[in-house]
């Protein structure tokens, strides 16, 4: 297997643009790509522009009538059918929507193919991670579910065990739905509690159905959870499940919207903790999945201060060139940020919280602590279904 990493990138993905007032500003992709270049990380990996996902690939997850509805709205945005979640405030229709959504999906599918076939050990598509799209509808800023499509393609290629770990602040509902009854796919989502955040799903009792019972795991964290609680919850759940499942590939989604500056959610996680989880996913892929790792972006609406730094850390880790948290950001990038946004941009690659620390679950839990209550609810609901102790 090649040890070289791939960065999936086509400039045209920045055309995924719901309009000026929409939170998902594609400038976050543009600025991330520029920061990756400013650190020279793109020279440490192969930059690949995969082809758009074709209709047969899209149908691995999405219904044909929904794909037709997206195509129709893409050709004539005024005709968008709200019954499919199109033309809504969350998912406004725009010209070329089908084409750019299929392009983003194609990057994630291409990443999965490269990793499975051994063309790369790690592959990153930070334009992807659009985890809310359902088989028959758009949802939560997501048109096509590239994460689910990448997993479906791995199964089509012969994978028998794929693990999906989602650390976006929002529940990875679309991926969970796509594989609800499929024991070949273990979906694990850590997210803000559904009582306080869209999409109001991801309760610990959601554990999969039919043959897939026990293949969905959800950690619903209380609003206000910070670094120590977030990392404690991750390490109290994810490594043990992966050690048991032994995936052939790890697919992870790294939405940056857990950050304390994110305007759409209520967790209080730092960039440094996000980087720590990225490192953990890399290490877990090597420990349990033969190093096969597909890493995706996701949410993140502090588009200048947070997203570019978080995903540049992700790219550096995948490339084998991790950027140290205390590193100063190249002035050329900050000048480009100001020219593009009239914002000064951050100066360092850290929030000043490195090294981050947390208490191990093995040391015992506090029944009065809300994070510990959340972890225990997850372990009690899901772990016995997998033959593990809660």
Give the whole-angstrom CA distance, residue 77 versus residue 72. Answer: 8
Q: Are 194 and 225 in contact (CB under 8 A)?
A: no
Write a three-state SS string for the chain: CCCCCEEECCHHHHHCCCCCCCCCCCHHHHHHHHHHHHCCHHHCCEEECCCCCCHHHHCCCCCHHHHHHHHHHHHCHHHCCHHHCCCCCCCCCCCCHHHHHHHHHHHHHHHHHHHHHCCCCEEEECCCCCCCCECCECECCECCCHHHHHHHHHHHCCCCCEEEEECCCCCCHHHHHHCCCCCCEEEEEEEECCCCCCCCCCCCCCCCCHHHCCCEEEEEECCCCEHHHHHHHHHHHHHHHHHHHCCCEEEEECCCCCECCCCCCCCEECHHHHHHHHHHHHHHHHHHCCCCEEEECCCCCCCCCCHHHHHHHHHHHHHCCCCCCCCECCHHHHHHHHHHHCCCCCCECCCCCCCCCCCCHHHCCCCCCHHHHHHHHHHHHHHHHHCCCC
Q: Are 221 and 377 in contact (CB under 8 A)?
A: no
Q: Which of 318, 258, 311 is nearest to 123 (CA)?
A: 318
Q: How many CB atoms neighbour CB 103 within 10 A?
A: 23
Catalytic annotation present for 132: yes
Given 132, 191, 193, 259, the catalytic residue: 132
Give the whole-angstrom CA distance, residue 125 versus residue 311. Answer: 10
Q: How many CB atoms neighbour CB 332 within 10 A?
A: 11
Taking the alpha carbons at both ends of the chain, their separation in whole angstroms is: 37
Which residues does the annotation mark as catalytic? Answer: 132
């Amino acid at each position: 297997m090649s040890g070289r990493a791939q960065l999936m990138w086509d400039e045209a993905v920045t055309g995924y643009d719901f309009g000026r007032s929409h939170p998902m500003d594609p400038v976050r992709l543009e600025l991330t790509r520029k920061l990756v270049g400013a650190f020279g990380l793109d020279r440490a990996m192969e930059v690949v522009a995969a082809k758009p996902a074709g209709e047969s690939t899209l149908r691995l997850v999405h219904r044909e009538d929904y794909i037709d509805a997206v195509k129709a709205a893409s050709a004539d945005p005024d005709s968008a059918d709200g019954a499919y979640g199109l033309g809504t405030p969350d998912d406004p229709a725009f010209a070329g929507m089908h084409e750019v959504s299929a392009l983003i999906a194609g990057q994630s599918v291409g990443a999965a193919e490269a990793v499975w076939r051994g063309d790369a050990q790690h592959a990153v598509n930070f334009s992807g991670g659009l985890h809310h799209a359902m088989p028959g509808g758009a949802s939560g800023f997501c048109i096509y579910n590239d994460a689910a499509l990448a997993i479906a393609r791995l199964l089509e290629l012969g994978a028998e065990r794929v693990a999906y770990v989602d650390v976006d602040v929002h529940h990875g509902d679309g991926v969970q739905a796509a594989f609800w009854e499929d024991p070949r796919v273990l979906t694990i989502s850590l997210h803000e509690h559904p009582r306080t955040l869209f999409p109001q799903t991801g309760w610990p009792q959601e554990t999969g159905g039919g043959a897939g019972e026990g293949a969905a795991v959800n950690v619903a964290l209380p609003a206000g959870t910070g670094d120590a609680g977030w990392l404690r919850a991750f390490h109290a759940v994810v490594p043990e499940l992966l050690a048991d499942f032994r995936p052939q590939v790890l697919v992870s989604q790294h939405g940056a919207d857990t950050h304390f500056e994110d305007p759409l959610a209520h967790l209080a996680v730092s960039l440094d903790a996000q980087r720590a989880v990225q490192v953990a996913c890399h290490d877990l892929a090597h420990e349990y999945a033969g190093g096969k790792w597909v890493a995706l972006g996701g949410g993140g609406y502090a588009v200048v201060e947070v997203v570019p730094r978080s995903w540049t850390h992700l790219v550096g880790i995948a490339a084998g060139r991790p950027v140290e948290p205390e590193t100063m950001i190249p002035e050329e990038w900050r000048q480009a940020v100001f020219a593009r946004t009239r914002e000064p941009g951050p100066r360092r690659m850290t929030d000043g919280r490195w090294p981050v620390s947390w208490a191990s679950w093995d040391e015992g839990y506090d029944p009065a602590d809300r994070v510990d209550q959340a972890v225990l609810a997850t372990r009690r609901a899901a772990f016995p279904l997998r033959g593990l102790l809660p």
